[in-house]
A = this chain, B = another copy of it.
């Protein structure tokens, strides 16, 4: 199957059924591959023809952040702009009980004060290559979906390894159209990254969880970091200039970033699985964690500091899933998906050749979801997010996987990915016993509830103790809290790990056996079937709808185009721009109580600021989680803003683009400069950005 050439501004399924429901203009849907920009659409709708230089500058300035966000080079000296909330977890790791960098912010007044960030990787996309044929080369007609999936997995690992050995660049194969095509992305990777500037969280996330995903907004959700190479600031091949004038309402703007995951290709049955199985389970976990973390945070100032980053993440994710789920539960939206699918299936059914090739794909997906429903809850119950847990799993799995040939390993333990794993595993970010013990107790209690206390795995993991006692025992007694010990274990290989006599590693070995069993079942009976079926559906779409399609988001570089434009809420029209005056007004309206209190710096600066400076704006750009920190650029490839959020109506973008009220939300470039100069007295940094 070929990768489609994008020649027309035709979006996904729903567009062919009801463009009326789309709002604004259907032209603005799309997360376009960087090597396939929608040139016709840009010319027809905006009269804009991107030059090769424009494309090259945007692409090579764009950065993927391993924390799960986006960023961009914005100076010749390797200065990188991203969101405060993208580096928030890193700031937390740099913090101490005496100096909470999340709360207090950070400014390096000189380059020597720039603070190394542990365990972060910045990737710049260097090359793209279509590898669809190579990935499918070993797949034969008589293979089962699981066998075919396995053959493709091996081919991808081999291709990646060969590429890394040949080019020295980080090489990742990417599955597009859920199996319709494969591309190889080569990245230049940077790991010496230092903190330059972060505002106080009260300014970056003004309005906190209350205003998250809302609009109007008033957030300086920006931070600057710097890339170093060989101990000196790195001079990037490309970087984005700062717009001297900023953007105007109605102006077309371009977002270059890394949308994480969308599910727009999902069939109706697959969406039902999300709506009725996956999201209810996710939400239950989220609410549980939110309640538990909030309670723990309330018990002391130190607890609050330790868990606040987790809590912010949980609340962010809760709002996100809630928003998508609200869309899925809305027949007005769901029925559009149903109608679009019916349209496509009818077209396929009407053509005997198509029907023979692709007609069974939807039923395949439906059956895969039924299968997954049988063990989804069990698999989900084994998941846990904590540093200690992740370290333990990596140690146990590295020991096992490193005994196998590269192509036989679990995908993430292929040779080319080991450096990333080790970077995180050997990070010297501190492990906090109390936080880890709380999370472990929570995890074990949750697992006991989800699987039942008499479940064999639960009984084995709890070892006859209560979740709290068992968690305490594991966390207090494990030896893997230092990077030195972790390295020693990994380098000692499977013998060292097996004989470590460490309660957490023993726990993890029991857990991982079951986890791997479920993963194998998933890959064979669900993922393999999906790959096979979605490849058929993608082919059907190209045949029926023409080839103006973009693939679902894959946390790889994409460009989206949109306009800065307000929207109509039931309560009135929402203007696209806010300004600095609005920040102080909202503070007053909410009595300056958290999360509507401002840090001292902003109280001191109020009288000196130009309060008419645009602060945040909304645009119709098609984004999703992972786009956080993406630069918003104008027709001259100049920075006019910084994506940091979507409004609540945008959340359904996970499965369908709808710009009736859905908008992405950015920090205006002018507010960044105004704040740097007048709130933070950071003229040097502002000068570097504006090229003075």
Residues of A within 8 A of B (CB): 209-210, 272, 275-276, 279-280, 283-284, 286-288, 290-291, 294-295, 298-299, 301, 318, 325-326, 328-332, 334, 445, 448-450, 452-454, 462, 464-469, 591
Which residues of B lie under 8 Å from residue A450 when comparing CB positions? Answer: 280
Q: Is the CB of A330 within 8 A of B283?
A: no
Q: Given A291-B318, A332-B466, do A449 and B326 touch, yes or no (CB 8 Å)? A: no
Q: Given A291-B291, A452-B276, do A466 and B209 touch, yes or no (CB 8 Å)? A: no
Contact of A466 among B279, B331, B468, B591 (CB under 8 A): B331
Please, could you name 16 A-B residue pairs with CB atoms under 8 Å apart, sorted by A? Answer: A210-B295, A210-B298, A272-B453, A275-B449, A275-B453, A276-B449, A280-B450, A284-B284, A284-B287, A287-B290, A325-B445, A326-B466, A328-B453, A329-B466, A330-B466, A331-B462
Which residues of B lie under 8 Å from residue A329 when comparing CB positions? Answer: 445, 448, 453, 466-467
Question: Closest CB-CB distance, A593 to chain B, in whole Å?
Answer: 9
A300's nearest neighbour on chain B, judged by CB, is: B590
Q: With the chains together, A454 CA to B268 CA distance in Å?
A: 12
Q: With the chains together, A332 CA to B275 CA distance in Å?
A: 39
Question: Closest CB-CB distance, A37 to chain B, in whole Å?
Answer: 36
Q: Told that A209-B295, A294-B294 touch, could you supply 8 new A-B pairs with CB distance under 8 A?
A: A209-B298, A272-B453, A275-B453, A276-B452, A279-B449, A287-B287, A330-B468, A334-B453
Main secondary structure of the interface of A (DSSP, over half): helix
Contact of A290 among B279, B291, B326, B468 (CB under 8 A): B291
Which residues of B lie under 8 Å from residue A272 when comparing CB positions? Answer: 452-454
Which residues of B lie under 8 Å from residue A294 when comparing CB positions? Answer: 294
A472's nearest neighbour on chain B, judged by CB, is: B570
Question: Closest CB-CB distance, A505 to chain B, in whole Å?
Answer: 23
Contact of A299 among B210, B279, B280, B448 (CB under 8 A): B210
The 9 closest A-B pairs by CB, nearest first: A287-B287, A330-B466, A280-B449, A276-B452, A210-B298, A284-B284, A287-B291, A287-B288, A329-B448
Q: With the chains together, A284 CA to B290 CA distance in Å?
A: 12
Q: Is the CB of B209 within 8 A of A445?
A: no
Question: Closest CB-CB distance, A504 to chain B, in whole Å?
Answer: 20
Question: Closest CB-CB distance, A657 to chain B, in whole Å?
Answer: 18
Q: Is the CB of B276 within 8 A of A283?
A: no
Contact of A449 among B283, B301, B449 (CB under 8 A): B283
Q: Given A284-B284, A298-B210, A445-B326, do A276 and B453 touch, yes or no (CB 8 Å)? A: yes
Q: With the chains together, A448 CA to B290 CA distance in Å?
A: 22
A594's nearest neighbour on chain B, judged by CB, is: B593
A288's nearest neighbour on chain B, judged by CB, is: B287
Q: Given A276-B454, A452-B276, A453-B276, do A331 and B465 touch, yes or no (CB 8 Å)? A: yes
Q: Given A287-B288, A291-B291, A454-B272, do A325 and B209 touch, yes or no (CB 8 Å)? A: no
Question: Closest CB-CB distance, A176 to chain B, in whole Å?
Answer: 30
Q: With the chains together, A284 CA to B288 CA distance in Å?
A: 7
Question: Closest CB-CB distance, A298 to chain B, in whole Å?
Answer: 4
Q: Is the CB of B279 within 8 A of A283?
A: no
Question: Closest CB-CB distance, A529 to chain B, in whole Å?
Answer: 22
Which residues of B lie under 8 Å from residue A301 when comparing CB positions? Answer: 591
Interface centre among A275, A287, A328 (most CB of B within 10 A): A287
A464's nearest neighbour on chain B, judged by CB, is: B331
Q: With the chains together, A275 CA to B445 CA distance in Å?
A: 11
Q: With the chains together, A155 CA to B206 CA distance in Å?
A: 64
Which residues of B lie under 8 Å from residue A462 when comparing CB positions? Answer: 331
A279's nearest neighbour on chain B, judged by CB, is: B449
Q: With the chains together, A325 CA to B445 CA distance in Å?
A: 9
Which residues of B lie under 8 Å from residue A209 when comparing CB positions? Answer: 295, 298
Which residues of B lie under 8 Å from residue A298 when comparing CB positions? Answer: 209-210
A451's nearest neighbour on chain B, judged by CB, is: B276
Question: Closest CB-CB distance, A690 to chain B, in whole Å?
Answer: 37
Question: Closest CB-CB distance, A596 to chain B, in whole Å?
Answer: 10
Question: Closest CB-CB distance, A323 to chain B, in whole Å?
Answer: 11
Question: Closest CB-CB distance, A301 to chain B, in whole Å?
Answer: 8
Which residues of B lie under 8 Å from residue A275 when comparing CB positions? Answer: 449, 453
A284's nearest neighbour on chain B, judged by CB, is: B284
Q: With the chains together, A430 CA to B570 CA distance in Å?
A: 26
A465's nearest neighbour on chain B, judged by CB, is: B331
Which residues of B lie under 8 Å from residue A284 when comparing CB positions? Answer: 284, 287-288
A452's nearest neighbour on chain B, judged by CB, is: B276
A334's nearest neighbour on chain B, judged by CB, is: B453
Which residues of B lie under 8 Å from residue A334 when comparing CB positions? Answer: 453
Question: Closest CB-CB distance, A433 to chain B, in whole Å?
Answer: 15
Which residues of B lie under 8 Å from residue A276 when comparing CB positions? Answer: 449, 452-454
Which residues of B lie under 8 Å from residue A332 when comparing CB positions? Answer: 466
Which residues of B lie under 8 Å from residue A468 when comparing CB positions? Answer: 326, 330
Which residues of B lie under 8 Å from residue A286 when comparing CB positions? Answer: 291
Question: Closest CB-CB distance, A439 to chain B, in whole Å?
Answer: 16
Q: With the chains together, A399 CA to B328 CA distance in Å?
A: 37
Q: With the chains together, A332 CA to B467 CA distance in Å?
A: 12
